[in-house]
Amino acid sequence: MFYEKPVPIFPENALARSRPALDPEHWVSMGKTVMSKGDGEPNHDVVDRARIAACERLIRPHIRRTPVIEIDGAEFGLSAMKLTLKLELMQHSGSFKARGAFANLLTRKMPQAGVVAASGGNHGVAVAYAAMKLNIPAKIFVPNVSSPAKVERIRRYGADLAIEGDRYADALVASRDWQQRSGAMSIHAFDQTETMLGQGTTGSELEAQAPDIDTLLVSVGGGGLIAGIAAWYAGKIKVVGVEPRAAPTLSKALAAGRPVDAEAGGIAADSLAPQRVGDLVFPIAQTHVDSVVLVADEAIREAQDALWNVLRVVAEPGGAAAFAAVLGGSYEPRAGEQIGVIVSGGNTTAVDFRR
């Protein structure tokens, strides 16, 4: 069953025309007040429950409270068990990334040049969407592997789009060069405190919607989502990372005791292959993430098929990766374990209603 009331979905361009312009300085001022240490000074280096809760209050008018659905594993050919799916693909811009985008834009001082971001796709879509809503100029760099669906959405939201290189790391280099030349504010896709605080609101929402889960499976690329969620739960439940075998960023970092370069390929390369996990992400994951499991590309594809065939949920490869861990057996729940799964994104052209 769905726990949330259906959210009306309007074409984003029509919605933008229907809303008054917002003054970014107003939101920056509010952000500094809401997310401070208590003495009025921003607390820049902490990601914890208190700051995530403050961030949630700040960004709440701009994000959707995405629904949760309970299903029986038997529907997917698994043993009978309750699975709780958090459908973040229904968030504005098609993924959880809108949370971190608004957290950045509402808490940091905005230069005249606006913002710049590098992204495999979803972060760029989210920053473009948030910038459109707050009337802020945005320049987005993506690599060649970005899916057509994500590239089209970035353009539709009005951002200036540049396609640079073969992988996220190439787009990141190009974005840093642009930032230095233009003076724009850079919004990192994962390795930034404000980004992790925004993504952590996924956990605060889920805890209110599904307080009985024991274990939560979260897909990992650069690690912003899992770091924010793990910081929110802070050991209250077991948080398990799920990575493609072709892009084991957190697995390799945990084995080495520090962020290191990893392979960056596979079918989820546009969302889960940043080459290495974030430096700010890593200590949070090292402290609060219970374990990491790996899934093959074929398992991810099967998870996409299963979500569509059983639930009519259209998840992109990175969005389906966490579910692939349960469906394909990379994570084996113990008897009676209450499992939650983040379905993190749905920016894909897999379903074409014109055919």
Assess contact for 249 and 275: CB atoms under 8 A: yes
Q: pLDDT confidence of 40, banded at 50, 70, 90?
A: very low
More confident position, 79 or 17: 79
Sign, CA torsion 9/14/19/21? positive
66, 332, 284, 341: CA torsion to nearest 10 = 0
CA distance 345 to 139: 22
Residue 205 located in a structural domain: yes
Q: Which residue in the block uniquely carries the two structure tokens 């209110």?
A: 208
- Chain segment 43-63, per-residue pLDDT in tens: 457 899 999 999 999 999 999
The CA distances from residue 116 to 59, 102, 223, in Å, are 20, 14, 20
**Which one, of 304, 349, 348, lies nearest residue 322 by Cα?**
304
Q: What pLDDT is stored for residue 45 in this prediction? A: 72
Maximum CA extent, the chain: 58
Tell me the pLDDT of the chain averaged across its residues: 87
Give pLDDT, residue 318.
Answer: 92
327 in a domain, yes or no? Answer: yes
Helix, strand, or coil (residue 283): helix
139 contact partners, CB below 8 Å, separation of at least 6 = 114, 115, 116, 117, 159, 160, 162, 175, 178, 182, 184
Question: Above 90 in pLDDT, residue 138?
Answer: yes
Radius of gyration of the chain (CA): 19
Percent of the chain predicted with pLDDT > 90: 73
CB 118 within 8 A of CB 148: no
Mean pLDDT: which of 29-43, 99-113, 154-168, 337-351 is highest?
Answer: 99-113
Segment 188-225, tens digit of pLDDT: 999 999 999 999 999 999 999 999 999 999 999 999 99
pLDDT in tens, 232-249: 999 999 999 999 999 999
Residue 162 CB-half CA count within 13 A = 18
As a whole number of angstroms, the distance between CA 326 and CA 178 comes to 41
pLDDT score recorded for residue 167: 83
pLDDT at 89 (0 to 100) = 96
pLDDT at 3: 35
Strand pairing category for 339-343 and 215-219: parallel
Q: In the prediction, which pLDDT does 296 show?
A: 96
Q: Residue 150: inside a domain, yes or no?
A: no
- Determine the average pLDDT of the residues in 294-317: 96
Range scoring the smallest mean pLDDT among 14-28, 37-51, 216-230: 14-28
Q: Which residue has the higher pLDDT, 167 or 333?
A: 333
For residue 150, how far is the Cα from the chain centroid?
Answer: 14
Which of 10-24, 25-39, 310-324 has the weakest average pLDDT? 10-24
Structure confidence at residue 9 as a pLDDT band (50, 70, 90): very low
Mean per-residue pLDDT, 108-134? 93
Between CA 335 and CA 173 the distance in angstroms is 47
The enclosing domain of 332 has a CATH number of 3.40.50.1100
Instruction: Give the domain extent around 227.
Output: 68-95+192-343
Q: Residue 75 falls within a domain, yes or no?
A: yes
Tokens read off for 81: 């068990």
84 φ, ψ (degrees, to nearest 5)? -115, 115
pLDDT value at position 289?
Answer: 97
Measure the CA–CA gap between 219 and 271, rounded to whole angstroms: 10
In a domain, 217, yes or no: yes
| Beta strands 68-72 and 82-87, pairing class | antiparallel
Is 126 strand, coil or helix?
helix
Q: Starting at the edge strand that comes first in sequence, how are the strands of the sheet with 339-343 ordered? A: 68-72, 82-87, 339-343, 215-219, 238-244, 291-295
- What is the share, in percent, of the chain residues with pLDDT greater than 70? 85
Residue 202 lies in a domain: yes
Task: Give the count of domains, the chain.
Answer: 1
Q: Tell me, what's the pLDDT at 95?
A: 96
Span 247-297, pLDDT tens digits? 999 999 999 999 998 888 888 766 676 788 999 999 999 999 999 999 999
Angle at 25 between CA 129 and CA 231, to 5 degrees: 65
Determine which of 124-138, 155-169, 239-253 has the lowest per-residue pLDDT on average: 155-169
Please indicate, yes or no, if residue 131 is contained in any of the structural domains: no
- CA angle (154, 67, 217) in 5-degree steps: 85
Q: Considering the domain boundaries, does residue 31 fall inside one?
A: no
What's the confidence (pLDDT) of residue 79?
A: 93
Instruction: Report the predicted TM-score, pTM, of the whole model to 2 decimal places.
Output: 0.86
